[in-house]
Amino acid sequence: MARFREVLSERNFFLLWVGQIISQFGDRLNQMALIAIVYSRAPGSPFELAKFFSFTIIPSFFVSPIAGAFIDRWDKKRTMIACDILRGVIVFAIPLLFLDLTPTFPIYTAVFLIFAVSCFFLPARLAIIPDIVSKEKLLVANSLFTVTAMIGAIFWFVVGGLLVEFLKVKGGLYLNSFVYLMSALAIVFIAGHRRRQKKSEGSVGIEEIIKTSIVREITDGMKYLAAHSEARFAFRMLFVLMAGAGAAYAVVIVFIQDAMGSMTRDLSLLGLFLGAGFFIGSVVYGKMGHRFSKAKSIFACLILCGISMCAFTAVLKGTKSFVGASVVAMILGIAMAPIGISTNTLIHEMVDEKMRGRIFSSLGVAMNVAFLIFMLGAAKLAERIDSGWILYGVSVFYVICGILGFIDLRVFKEKGSNV
């Protein structure tokens, strides 16, 4: 833990890290409230749940590419603060104005706007890390930052689920709004990060951005990805990970509800073990990951993810054992953690500082395309076949991708890649 303490002793990173623990809790609380809304209106329907969640993903197709071009010019700290405040205001409006209305369109619109704002927040958050952490500490910093997502996931399944049960949907959404504002407050105190805008850059306004063509800059970002083997590798791995996650996402929620006979209780508690595994995986890989090839770590973890998901499905489908499912969920969390850490570190190491916003936005679009398509397709398929078979299919998909990755690894070695 010495290296973790060393990174956390850096004031700016510590504030960013704490701010994102709060923000991730807000994200997960928001998602749990959405699950409760769908359950109250269309219980037991993976497709209705997937359709609702599609409004959290669609903004990335329209906003993320543009967001990247702006983020590379804007102050990233101020961007994150503004985004958290806007998200807090929009979330507050849902229970205040829209929740009691019979039509769902106003709620869909509000959800769309929340995640449109997030398209600016997320790449800004990722792009600022190398500005406040030295290069030799990036792997450890990304490990700790991944723990932020893990803590948010734990709160979603445990604290978030219980709070929505206790406070009901309205109370949960009001609390969600407050959490986003607290995240903004933590980020306010970040000061003196290394990269500062030159005066000439700071005076460039929207007119100049339009003159230089946002479309051209997005194209430049895609060309940058295409020209670098490590970038293409990270692109493919994130696409694979999100495709499988999308196929399983809505299906597994309803699968757990049906298997365990509860709406949020068992979902929340199983999430606790998944998050605990994610924490263990992040800590262990953060301390030892530098000893291993990042590519081999990703491929091995993809295979372990597939095996764990298969075991999880079999346990719940065959025995409905909460203890057995909890153990497997923890192993799944351990396997997931190194994949995101390794891919983010590869991007930080190889991408020019001026391009990071565009690269992360482009990756975000690809990840969300994969997630949305596979989520809707799998949820629709779940209306025709048993959900367990869909989860088995995702398991096989991950295992095959991991094995093919090891087979293809020699291509990177022949080209002198350092992935």
pLDDT score, position 149: 66
Cβ–Cβ under 8 Å, residues 142 and 129: yes
The mean per-residue pLDDT over the stretch 268-284 comes to: 84
pLDDT at 210 over 50: no
- Alpha carbons 417 and 419: distance in angstroms, whole number: 6
The mean per-residue pLDDT over the stretch 89-113 comes to: 84
- Alpha carbons 380 and 41: distance in angstroms, whole number: 18
The mean per-residue pLDDT over the stretch 185-195 comes to: 71
Per-residue pLDDT tens over the stretch 4-13: 677 777 778 8
Q: Which of 87, 76, 95, 279 is nearest to 182 (CA)?
A: 87
Q: How confident is the model at residue 224 (pLDDT cuts 50, 70, 90)?
A: confident
The mean per-residue pLDDT over the stretch 58-71 comes to: 76
- Alpha carbons 272 and 296: distance in angstroms, whole number: 28
pLDDT at 124 over 80: yes
Q: Which residues contact 272 (CB under 8 A, 6 or more apart)?
A: 154, 157, 158
pLDDT at 379 over 70: yes
pLDDT at 158 over 60: yes
pLDDT score, position 113: 92
pLDDT score, position 203: 45
pLDDT at 282 over 70: yes
- Which of 70-79, 115-124, 218-227 reaches the highest mean pLDDT? 115-124
- Which of 165-169, 200-204, 273-277 reaches the highest mean pLDDT? 273-277
Cβ–Cβ under 8 Å, residues 180 and 20: no
pLDDT score, position 392: 95
Per-residue pLDDT tens over the stretch 12-48: 888 888 887 888 788 877 878 888 787 777 777 788 8
Cβ–Cβ under 8 Å, residues 143 and 297: no
Classify domain 2-189+208-414 by CATH number: 1.20.1250.20
Residue 196 DSSP SS3: coil
pLDDT score, position 54: 87
Cβ–Cβ under 8 Å, residues 226 and 414: no
Q: Which of 151-155, 167-171, 415-419 has the least mean pLDDT?
A: 415-419
Of residues 322 and 257, more confidently modeled: 322
Q: How confident is the model at residue 52 (pLDDT cuts 50, 70, 90)?
A: confident
- Mark out the alpha helices in 189-293 (DSSP H runs): 199-202, 206-211, 214-227, 229-260, 265-288
pLDDT score, position 329: 93
Per-residue pLDDT tens over the stretch 132-146: 777 777 777 877 776
pLDDT score, position 202: 45
- Mark out the alpha helices in 133-228 (DSSP H runs): 138-155, 161-188, 199-202, 206-211, 214-227
Q: Where are the domains of the chain?
A: 2-189+208-414
- Alpha carbons 282 and 160: distance in angstroms, whole number: 22
pLDDT score, position 413: 54
Q: Which long-range contacts link 101-105 to residues 24+ away (Cβ below 8 Å)?
A: 104/41
Q: Which of 28, 22, 26, 50 is nearest to 264 (CA)?
A: 28
- Alpha carbons 22 and 177: distance in angstroms, whole number: 11
Indicate the average pLDDT of the chain: 79
Cα Rg for the chain, rounded, in angstroms? 21
Buried b (16+ CB within 10 A) or exposed e, 219-242: eebbebbeebbbbebbbbbbbbbb
pLDDT at 65 over 70: no
pLDDT score, position 419: 55
pLDDT at 103 over 80: no
